[in-house]
Amino acid sequence: MRVKVRYFASIREWTGLKEEEVDLPDSATAGELRDEVQRIHGSLRLEEGSVLVAINGYFAEPGAKLGPGDEVALFPPVSGG
């Protein structure tokens, strides 16, 4: 399946992309997507805790299942306010 992945802040700068489409096995998880992004953009080191994952605008645990057409976002811990 294909999911749209959006990148923000330091993760966006490291990938050099605002977004891209990523192919994943059916019923892949948020954690597996993070690993796949790590594989595609080899120089990245996406350690748990240094990157947060959101699915369709809501925070997701690494074990959360993805569906076709989902919008996933990867970004660092937030610093607004």
Per-position x/- string for 53-72, each x denoting binding to another protein as judged by CB under 8 A, each - no binding: -x--xxx-------------
Smallest distance, another protein to C-beta of residue 61, A: 14
Residue with tokens 């990157």: 51
Q: Tell me the C-alpha distance between 61 and 65, whole Å.
A: 9
Closer to another protein by Cβ: residue 43 or 79 = 79
Question: Where along the sequence are the contacts to another protein (CB under 8 A)?
Answer: 6, 8-10, 12, 50, 54, 57-59, 73, 75-81
